[in-house]
Amino acid sequence: MKLLRVDFGASYLWRTDLGSFQHGFGFNMNPLNPKSYDDWYQFRDPMTAKLRQRRRASFVEEVLPRRDMLRTEFYNDFLARDGLDHGINMFVFDGDRDLVRLPDLAGCRTPGIRPADGFRRRPRMGAAQS
């Protein structure tokens, strides 16, 4: 996660045999959140399945309008607990086999970023830093 310069992140393994994500870990998040996602929130997550189907890096807002996300149990009881406000998800595949899910989540605590700006004002990797 540090290599990707994420503010917050979590990754989970997709288990085709179980039809669910398992064995999550988080970065700069409440250490209990990955287990709560495994046990409860993945079944109330309105965006991850849609993001996975895209099979490319995608902004959350591409599959769920922000105004709709802010009204969900998933956002209010899970993401907002850590201040997570917007994100990009990337699923890596080898053919049809899932290898990894790499969400890059940013929150309203991210210096210099307002929630309405999302990732559009973040410095890009490889861009000159001042």
Between CA 12 and CA 109 the distance in angstroms is 24
Given a cut of 80, whether residue 107 has pLDDT beyond it is no
Model pLDDT for residues 109-127, shown as the tens digit of each residue: 444 544 445 444 444 444 4
Question: Can you name the residues that pair with 104 across neighbouring β-strands?
Answer: 9, 88
Per-residue pLDDT, 102? 63
**Rounded mean pLDDT of the chain?**
76
Res. 39 pLDDT band, cuts 50 70 90: very high
Confidence (pTM): 0.72
Question: Can you name the residues that pair with 59 across neighbouring β-strands?
Answer: 88
Given a cut of 60, whether residue 15 has pLDDT beyond it is yes
> Could you tell me the residue ranges of all domains in the chain?
8-117
Task: Single out the residue of 43, 47, 74, 71 nearest to residue 58, CA to CA.
Answer: 47
Q: Look at the domain 8-117 and name its fold.
A: Beta-Lactamase (3.30.450)
Per-residue pLDDT, 108? 46
